[in-house]
Structure 1
Amino acid sequence: MQRILQPGEIEALDHIDFPRVRLPQLATLFQERAARLRQLAGGHAIADYLLFAARLVEAQHHLASRAPQPAPLEASVAQRASAHGMPLLPAAENLPPGWQDTLRALLAELQGDAAVPASLSTVFTHLAALDGAALDALARQVLAGGPGREDLAAAPLVMAALQVGFATRAAALPVQDVPFAEPPTICPVCGSAPVASVLRIGGAAGGHRYLHCGTCATEWHMVRVKCSHCESTKGVRYQGLQNAQAEPAGKADTRQAVLAETCEQCHTYRKLVNQEQDPFVDPVADDLASLTLDLLMGDTEFSRASGNPLLAI
């Protein structure tokens, strides 16, 4: 009797010669993102917010460079995740140790900075007044994408602190411990949704599309013609600011640097950023700077599949 191969088995048998997973590089992750945000801010309609985001990401870089090495992952954790097709360390159940100290250090570095809006002073005061249990509860709400109205402005700050902890932990993982998660549209490390997808250039990853986790910055491969939300291969099209009509999936690599990938099956969209068009694109920065495209998509039948971790909405 023939057996149907499970997700991941075909790739394993095929001995693919490009990386299935790209773990974050802490030395450059936040530094390059901050530089990209500053570049995008020039003449931009939301330049002030992009410059604030750049300053926030610079603070992340400073904290990540001083972050202690995480404890090694227990072998049983990797084995269980692999056996059950589950994320290695689901975010809400595995808040990074010391993330609250990271948040306090982040607030201390940003306090009084000229790039930080004065209106955030009350947010700083509010966060500083919360005890450990309240901060953990807020972190889980932010990770779930559902902070209360009173905490919307605090969400990017909380997420920034969490990203440092999650990315530090992901960067230290042996890549062979990262499982094939089900569904393959969530991060195999922390189970979060991707903020965007990116077409990479250079090295073994060149020419391949990766989903970029908005929480731990892990990237995992997904073929270009699949919807990054429901995995459909039917009705996947791309729309940019320069084309009135959505383009078929096959034309994505010859068009603009930032496109909205739409799916007629689940009626959602997610951005795709293309290094072949601009080698400096960053999934988080370019998604944030292309809010005009989101406004355009607001007049369509498609809703956004997931949010940007640095955007208060």
Structure 2
Amino acid sequence: MSTTPIIQPGQIEAPSGDIPFIYISPRDNVFRDRAGRLRQLAEGHVMKDFLLFMAELTEAQHAALAVFPKAELPTEAEIKLCREHGMPPLSVQSWPRNTVWQEALKKIIVDVMRTATPATKEILLRLQALDSDALETFATAILAGEFEDVDLGAAPFVAAALQVYWTHMATTLGAQAFGANDISNLCPVCASPPVSSILRIGGAENALRYLCCSVCNTQWHMVRVKCTNCESTKGISYFAIAGSSGAVKAETCEECGTYLKIMQMDKDQYVDPIADDLATLALDLMMDETGKLRSGPNLFLISTSAMAV
């Protein structure tokens, strides 16, 4: 374990007027690039089989997004109202979710089934047996963070389909449709918590920190050296696995006792908010030993039972 000295808030941030607030990955790239990153990370990794499986699931997401059917979107008036009042227009809690996301789930199941192990096929068959109402109940529980009564083995597949649905809506509307959220540590598009944060490189985003949504893949700006959970600027520390490149660190806060991983593109330009999170579970274990709680979820890691697939 190693720690890193920190700079003071605002030392390397650009003037606020020059900062692009929202970054949305190109629609054709987000899942495809993530799948490639997972395969790269799998080489020589102790969790190689798991990461390769996640690459297959992510490729299935890419394929589902490519043929995603037309879905209802907020009207211009609704978007304008949300921008004026600092509200996410596609909130996972209030947006009237269309059952069209279930079409993405069906395609993901078919694609993953082709190479799935017997244990995974059993999980997928359980999902196929659920009716539409049961799937909606499942989705509501995942998006609300209520995992006690859900099928934990099936949860990553439902989450994958929901990510496709919200990514479809976010990329269809584009970054210009969204404004700042009144709650700065929740996604300004869908009001979900971040899975991690990332220090971007290049252009107007260079060296700026963006939080990365756990559902719709949107990234939004938050100044560095500031807790992504309670927004305190006191007691911020960084931890990394000894001997690693330092591209992925845990940013911890003594004020609220939480942490969230931060990815640094200047150390590895291919870091991905979800892929690199999955590949650095050792860092989560290290944080468990410190007593820090993770402040944002990775929906593919709702339970360690996800590793079983």
TM-score by length of 1: 0.87
Conserved in 1, the CA contact under 8 Å of 2:24 and 2:174? Answer: no
8 Å contact kept, 2:21–2:180: no
| Matched residue, 1:105 | 107
Task: Measure how far apart 1:97 and its partner are.
Answer: 4.5
Instruction: For 1:25-174, list aligned pairs within 5 A.
Output: 25-94=26-95, 95-113=97-115, 116-148=116-148, 151-174=151-174
Secondary structure at 1:298 match in 2: helix
Give 1:3's aligned residue: none
Q: Contact (CA 8 Å) 2:42, 2:52: kept in 1 or not?
A: yes
> 1:84 offset after TM fit, Å?
2.7
Q: Which residue of 1 aligns with 2:203?
A: 203
Please report how far the alpha carbon of residue 124 of structure 1 lies from its aligned counterpart in structure 2 after TM superposition.
Answer: 1.1
Aligned sequence identity (%): 42
Cα distance in 2 for partners of 1:234, 1:208 equals 20
Provide the TM-score with structure 2 as the length reference: 0.88
Code of the residue aligned with 1:219 in structure 2: it is Q
| Closer/same/farther in 2, CA of residues 28 and 228 from structure 1, 3 Å limit | same
Deviations 1:40-60 (A, max 9, x none): 111111111111100000011
Q: Secondary structure at the match of 2:238?
A: strand
Q: Deviations over 1:252-273 (max 9, x none)?
A: xxx7100000001110000000
Q: State whether structure 2 residue 248 is matched by structure 1 residue 270.
A: no
Give runs of aligned pairs for residues 8-19 of structure 1, distance below 5 A.
16-19=17-20
- CA drift at 1:93: 3.0
Q: Relative contact order: is structure 1 or structure 2 higher (C-alpha 8 Å, sep ≥ 6)?
A: 2
Following the alignment from structure 2 to structure 1, what is the Cα–Cα distance between the partners of residues 211 and 176?
A: 18
SS in 1 for 2:18: coil
Q: Kindly state the Cα deviation for residue 175 of structure 1 after the two structures are TM-superposed.
A: 2.5
What is the rounded CA distance, in whole Å, between the counterparts of 2:68 and 2:203 in structure 1?
A: 28
* SS in structure 2 at match of 1:183: coil
Confirm or deny that 1:186 pairs with 2:176: no
SS at 2:274's partner residue? Answer: helix
For 2:275, the equivalent position in structure 1 comes to: 285
Query: Amino acid of the residue matched to residue 254 of structure 2?
Result: E
**Following TM superposition, by how much is the alpha carbon of 1:64 offset from its aligned partner in structure 2, in angstroms?**
1.0
CA distance in 2, matches of 1:306, 1:72: 26
The CA deviation string for residues 108-162 of structure 1, in whole angstroms up to 9 with x for no partner, is 111131xx33212221121111111110110011112222355111111001011
SS at match of 1:16: helix
User: What SS is found at the alignment partner of 1:53?
Assistant: helix
Give 1:276 deviation, angstroms: 0.4
Q: What SS class does the counterpart of residue 92 from structure 1 fall into?
A: coil
2: CA distance between counterparts of 1:302 and 1:190? 26
Find the counterpart in structure 2 of residue 232 from structure 1: 232
Hey, what's the Cα distance between the residues in 1 that align with 2:104 and 2:302? 20
Superposition RMSD on alpha carbons, in Å?
1.7
User: Separation in 1 of the partners of 2:74 and 2:120?
Assistant: 37
- Measure the CA separation in 1 of the matches of 2:79 and 2:191: 14
Q: How many residues of Structure 1 are paired with residues of Structure 2 in the alignment?
A: 287
Which runs of 5 or more structure 1 residues have no equivalent in the other structure? 1-13, 244-254
Q: Does 1:214 align with 2:214?
A: yes
Deviates more, 1:60-69 or 1:217-226: 60-69
**Matches of 2:79 and 2:195 in 1, distance apart?**
25
